[in-house]
Amino acid sequence: MERTSGIEMQNYKIKQPERFWLGAHQPSLLNNLERVDIIQLPSICDTMFEYNVDEKTYLGKTRPGKKCVIMRGEIQTYLDSRLTISHNSYSSWDIGREVKSNEQI
């Protein structure tokens, strides 16, 4: 499988995500989303993509090492993301995992 150089994508989170839940299904919910509602995550949380020439897709994942730490209440979690982008599709698998046990939160 031949691969070429990739790209790096910055990740962001919404301060109060519950305000915008279902926005993909009801775009009007996103009308009030403003720049002040969005926080850029540290660069350690960036997603790294490599192009797979054979499959003609970009395959992305969070930087390894459990370093993209996000607090969920009192629980320390890390971001574990996998993405696939092709000419006509996008698939995202985003999971928060507990740092010590790796269990999905």
Q: What is the pTM of this model?
A: 0.71
How far, in Å, CA of 73 to CA of 81, rounded?
A: 20
pLDDT of residue 43: 92
Domain that holds residue 50: 3-11+42-98
Using pLDDT thresholds of 50, 70 and 90, give the confidence band for residue 1. Answer: very low
> Is 94 a domain residue?
yes
Kindly tell me if the per-residue pLDDT of 2 is higher than 80: no
Q: How many domains does the chain fold into?
A: 1
How far from 38 is each of 28, 35, 59, CA to CA, in Å?
18, 5, 25
- pLDDT tens, residue by residue, 46-97: 999 999 999 999 999 999 899 999 888 899 999 999 999 999 999 999 899 9
The answer to whether residue 34 sits within a structural domain is: no
- Nearest to 79, CA basis, from 101, 39, 37, 46: 46
Q: According to the model, what pLDDT value does residue 75 have?
A: 92
Q: Does residue 25 lie within any of the structural domains?
A: no
